[in-house]
Amino acid sequence: MRDVIIIGAGGGGPIVAKELAAQGLDVLMLEAGARNKTPETNWKHFENDANNPLSGYLRFGPSDRSKPSWYREVTQPAMISNLSGVGGTTQHYFGNSPRAMPGVFKGYQGDDAQDYDRDFEFPFSYEELTPYYEWVEATLPVQTAAMGTSEQVFFNGCENIGMSVQVTKDTFQDGYRAQQNAVLQPSGNAGRTTNKSDLTYPLAKGCTFCGHCTQGCYEPLNAPRNLKARRSTDNSYVPMALTADLWAVQGKAVTLVADAYVTQIHTQQINGKTTATGVSWRDVNTGEIMTENAKVVVMAGGCIENPRLWLNSGLPNSHDWVGRGLTDHAFDFVCGIFPFNTDSSKGVGSSARADFPGKGCIEPSSLGPAGLASNLMMSDSGIRGMYDNGRGVFGEWDGPSGRLIGNEFKNFMSDVNKTMGMLIITDDDVEANNRVEPSSLMSDEHGAVPKMTIHKRTRSQRTLDNREFLANKAASILRAAGASEVLRIDIVPLLLHLQSSMRMGDDPQNSVINANGEAHEVAGLFVADNSALSNALGGPNPTLTTQALATRTSEKIMVQYFSGTPWVNSNEPMSSIDDAITQAVLARGL
Amino acid sequence: MRKNSPPNDSQLNEDEAPLSTPRRDFLARSGLMGAVAAISPMLLASSKSEASLLLSDSVIRDVFNAMTLDTFAGVSAFVLPGNDWHSISQGHFNLKKGAKAANTQQFLLDNLDNYLPWPKDIAGPILSEVARVFSNAAKPIPFGLALVLKPLETLILNKLDEYMDRLIDGSQTVPLGHVFSLILNVTATLVNPLAIGGSHLAPFSRLSFSEKAEVFKRLETGEPDLSELISLNLNEAQSEMFPTLMATFSRTLIQLTAFGALSEWHALDQTTRELTVRPIGWDLTQYLPNGNVEGWDDFLGYYQDRSQVDA
């Protein structure tokens, strides 16, 4: 019997794994997708090879790439962009690590308090989470992003429309700034040359500005796994978890099993309460079913898989809130074309941002041509000039919103380094009818597939207004930065930032887990990924907050079930790039 | 079990049994007869008994593949036109290479057939409904273009129909590329009935640029009343899902075309995963002018020299 079983090795699970392994617990972490042990040989800087949503090595599907990806039912057109595999969706994230807006937490007293979704706030204060932010920021580590050409263009635009620069991690007013990124910043030759031989570790350290965040980070070449530039969990927390016995006093290494799709959470009635006792999983390659028991089970399979697993397992759902309240940041994409170089295919995916408390965020995003083309095609407004699908919105951009096609598309793409895409990250409301539930129509070898409903056009008025505000603001920044043409795509739901489908709250009637991260209705069952978030955070990218919350939940587990004591306020965090970790990683051959 | 010997009279009679008019119209509109002629021109000059033998499952599959590839070539020219015949014939082209030159049609076929996890339980019923509704809703095929079915052509249509049946009843894995191209081609003949005949194999590829946009509009928006018509013979869950599936299909096809055309796919050796030539999409977008790199010399320092911030 294990102390803890963690379901999912994505953005949240490895945080709990590392924290509890460092405390000496016996932890088993299960991951449905692949474990990429040797990214330098298995991964490439090719967009289709990596990012094809059907067949790429970074997809939501089994590790065997000859097999189809895993199906998810959607009730309206949407683009699903989260990943399976050790590291989860952090394998292709940009490392953007802003803190949440303080206004989404309980007890917020700012003048703009009513600008937020007050019905679904976090059940504790921002100040209570702050030490956990600091702990994670030191562990990853999170650093202020360096500037390249595209960031300079973005900053020029923000300056020209009179925005204020933000010089703090906490966000209380509109402002623009360099991202706080979970990316090791360049040193040595990194960022200063294109010569491959000069870009190997230790000649180059940190980000080499290769421009391939979305294909998975394995730069600089020859660097130990924990010193790869981008701090996806496969490069940061997972190596720490797998070596906890080597660097933590009384630490115990985590057991990690990949290709293990959990299909059942087992419970028993103990002391009159439904209590989690273990899990069963299916070996994705052999079909073999395995079962293990544990004192505590932690769900960290993501906003889509957690509700599916919960409901397929027949766990209680008295208030019908499991899977409900899904937020997706109601993304949009605004893109400009410039008469000068923006070098937008170079550098980190995003190293700059603008925040608008109560409304959301904007960030420039660097992509290769296939990725950019894909974004330009995701419109809900039909084809510009041909049909508008009942939308075709006008604003600060040129002409109606919509996708480009034919020669207009080809001309727009004629120099990818003279474009700049802006991601609109909306502060969207928690709404009960946005949800994940098991499909009544389809199942696969892992049970009924998840069915997702995200209403794009009929979101709350606040959500819709925020999205319009941000799209117009992004177009203004692009114009002020010198764009000669600005287009709004008006994309269909892009299921990339997903939050709150197993939301944390005080009231069991509109939440699944309590303020400790434990299920209201199942003892010993915790949730520790984006789905645990109470809301959409006000718009900031969710990973850092998920990781801070998962750290807090780890303490709660340790105190409540293993007679431990909290450590975040009393100990110094060990950085994942500390030499002790590097030596442990090398010793273990990771 | 069917023996590999000349068919007897009863089999010939079975093969010659006339198809229902809607199904015949559907197959005629699909462009499949043209594909048969292109794949096996000798078929049309064969005797009925020879033809029956020649029309093996693999030939039928080749026919579907040829028609699907030509349909996807038409889609490729629509999304990213170039100087190829599919682009020129749609009246919207340019002097540079386009998606077709990057073999995007094969990219689409491979991905849709092998990797798209469409629900098996629903693809067959929906395909059946699409065939029925499109045929019933269509204006009659213009007299001059109507298929005058000779016995041999009836045999060919029946063979195609048998294959369709296997797709619909789920006894054969549904190659989704075939499903997608059938839907596109039949919709194409609704947009322009004259597309049933012409220079390309696939009716969709015979459309003008604006007519192709009209096809995607109808699929994306469910016009005219497509989802209502389709729902008739589907159960409630299937019928709820249908408009989303069609809209998703439409958008996915366009998005995947753009993605594949500008990616390295056509230039990558799938075994070594190394480039064999410079990708066309990289040239079109001036991406990585000197090939892949491990890093760029684009570090300009820190904005306002601020390399760290406080809480």
Is the per-residue pLDDT at A441 higher than 90? no
Ranking A242-251, B92-101, B193-202 by mean pLDDT, the lowest is B193-202
Average pLDDT, chain B: 79
Q: How far apart are CA A496 and CA A452, in angstroms?
A: 13
Q: How far apart are CA B205 and CA B209, in angstroms?
A: 9
Q: Of B156, B141, B131, B195, whose CA–CA distance to B38 is shortest?
A: B156
User: pLDDT-derived band of residue B150, with 50, 70 and 90 as boundaries?
Assistant: low
pTM of the entire predicted model: 0.93
For residue B287, the chain A residues in CB contact (below 8 A) are: 345, 368-369, 416-417
Identify the pLDDT of residue B22: 62
Pick from A168, A371, A383: CB nearest B309: A168
User: pLDDT-derived band of residue B140, with 50, 70 and 90 as boundaries?
Assistant: very low
Q: How far apart are CA A244 and CA A247, in angstroms?
A: 6
Q: Do B259 and A48 touch (CB under 8 A)?
A: yes
Is the per-residue pLDDT at B43 higher than 80? no
User: pLDDT-derived band of residue B35, with 50, 70 and 90 as boundaries?
Assistant: confident
Pick from A48, A148, A208: CB nearest B263: A48
User: pLDDT-derived band of residue B77, with 50, 70 and 90 as boundaries?
Assistant: very high
Q: Of A247, A221, A142, whose CA–CA distance to A582 is shortest?
A: A247
Identify the pLDDT of residue B209: 98
Peptide bond into A202 cis (omega under 30): yes
Q: Do A382 and B217 touch (CB under 8 A)?
A: yes
Q: How far apart are CA A201 and CA B246, in angstroms?
A: 49
Q: How far apart are CA B96 and CA A407, in angstroms?
A: 11
Ranking A419-433, A446-460, B20-34, B195-209 by mean pLDDT, the lowest is B20-34
Distance, in angstroms, between A348 CA and closest chain B CA? 11
pLDDT tens profile A79-134: 889 999 999 999 999 999 999 999 999 999 999 999 999 999 999 999 999 999 99
Question: What type of residue is A586?
Answer: L
Identify the pLDDT of residue B160: 74
Ranking A76-80, A227-231, A339-343, A506-510 by mean pLDDT, the lowest is A76-80
Distance, in angstroms, between B91 CA and closest chain A CA? 11
B170 or A579, greater pLDDT: A579
Question: Using alpha carbons only, how large is chain A's radius of gyration in Å?
Answer: 22
User: pLDDT-derived band of residue B87, with 50, 70 and 90 as boundaries?
Assistant: very high
Average pLDDT over residues A387-398: 96
Is the per-residue pLDDT at B220 higher than 80? yes
For B212, nearest residue in chain A (alpha carbons) = A386
For B306, nearest residue in chain A (alpha carbons) = A144
Is the per-residue pLDDT at A255 higher than 50? yes
User: pLDDT-derived band of residue B182, with 50, 70 and 90 as boundaries?
Assistant: confident
Token pair belonging to B209: 């640029």
Q: Of A295, A291, A267, A261, whose CA–CA distance to A279 is shortest?
A: A291
A462 or B149, greater pLDDT: A462
Give the three-class secondary structure for A518: strand
User: pLDDT-derived band of residue B12, with 50, 70 and 90 as boundaries?
Assistant: very low
Average pLDDT over residues A533-556: 98
Tracing tokens 């959470």 back to the chain, one arrives at A265
Q: Do A387 and B221 touch (CB under 8 A)?
A: yes
In chain B, which among 244-263 make CB contacts under 8 A with chain A?
244, 247-248, 251, 254-255, 258-263
b/e per residue B181-200 (b: at least 16 CB within 10 A): bbbbbbbbbbbbbebbbbeb
Token pair belonging to A73: 């039912």
Average pLDDT over residues A362-387: 95
Give the three-class secondary structure for A496: coil
B236 or A223, greater pLDDT: A223
b/e per residue A298-314 (b: at least 16 CB within 10 A): bbbbbbbbbbbbbbbbe
Is the per-residue pLDDT at A252 higher than 70? yes
In chain A, which among 25-84 make CB contacts under 8 A with chain B?
44-49, 52, 54-55, 61, 66, 68-71, 73-79
Identify the pLDDT of residue B114: 75
Identify the pLDDT of residue A491: 96
pLDDT tens profile B263-301: 999 999 988 999 999 999 999 999 999 999 999 999 999
User: pLDDT-derived band of residue A178, with 50, 70 and 90 as boundaries?
Assistant: very high
Identify the pLDDT of residue A108: 97
For residue A416, the chain B residues in CB contact (below 8 A) are: 285-287
Identify the pLDDT of residue B246: 79
Tell me the three-class secondary structure of A375-432, residue by residue.
Answer: HHCCECCCECCCECCCCCCCCCCCCCCCECCHHHHHHHCCCHHHEEEEEEEECCCCCC
Helices B176-191 and B57-79 cross at an angle (nearest 10°) of 60
B4 or B130, greater pLDDT: B130
pLDDT tens profile A36-94: 999 999 899 999 999 998 889 999 999 999 888 898 988 888 888 999 999 999 999 99
Identify the pLDDT of residue A410: 98
Percentage of chain A lying above the pLDDT 70 cut: 100
Average pLDDT, chain A: 97
For A221, nearest residue in chain B (alpha carbons) = B294
Is the per-residue pLDDT at B10 higher than 50? no
Strands A447-453 and A73-74: parallel
* Whether B211 contacts chain A with CB within 8 A: no
Strands A485-488 and A332-337: antiparallel
Q: Do A410 and B118 touch (CB under 8 A)?
A: no
Identify the pLDDT of residue B125: 66
Percentage of chain B lying above the pLDDT 90 cut: 37
Average pLDDT over residues A430-441: 94
On the CB side of B199, CA atoms within 13 Å amount to 10
Strands A289-299 and A2-7: parallel
B54 or A415, greater pLDDT: A415
Pick from B96, B262, B297: CB nearest A192: B297
Q: Do A73 and B301 touch (CB under 8 A)?
A: no
Q: Where are the domains of chain A?
A: 2-253+326-432+455-588
Q: What is the DSSP code (8-state) at residue A96?
A: B
* Whether B271 contacts chain A with CB within 8 A: no
Average pLDDT over residues B199-212: 94
Is the per-residue pLDDT at B128 higher than 90? no
Is the per-residue pLDDT at A352 higher than 50? yes
Identify the pLDDT of residue B167: 66
* Whether B118 contacts chain A with CB within 8 A: yes
Q: How far apart are CA B236 and CA A110, in angstroms?
A: 49
Ranking A116-120, A188-192, B60-64 by mean pLDDT, the lowest is B60-64
Q: How far apart are CA A234 and CA A230, in angstroms?
A: 10
For residue B212, the chain A residues in CB contact (below 8 A) are: none
Is the per-residue pLDDT at B213 higher than 50? yes
On the CB side of B162, CA atoms within 13 Å amount to 15
Q: Do B298 and A346 touch (CB under 8 A)?
A: yes
In chain A, which among 211-250 make CB contacts under 8 A with chain B?
211, 219-221
Q: Do A409 and B117 touch (CB under 8 A)?
A: no
User: pLDDT-derived band of residue B226, with 50, 70 and 90 as boundaries?
Assistant: low
Average pLDDT over residues A434-457: 92
A406 or A67, greater pLDDT: A406
Identify the pLDDT of residue A544: 98
Tracing tokens 């040129």 back to the chain, one arrives at A398
Tell me the three-class secondary structure of B188-216, residue by residue.
Answer: HHHHCHHHHCCCCCCHHHHCCHHHHHHHH
Pick from A155, A180, A387: CB nearest B213: A387
User: pLDDT-derived band of residue B143, with 50, 70 and 90 as boundaries?
Assistant: very low
Interface test with A, best of B180, B293, B305, B307 (most A CBs within 10 A): B293
B162 or A167, greater pLDDT: A167
**A127 Cβ neighbours under 8 A, 6+ residues apart:** none
Identify the pLDDT of residue B170: 59
Is the per-residue pLDDT at A13 higher than 90? yes
- Describe chain A by its helix, strand, coil percentages, rounded to 5: 25, 25, 50
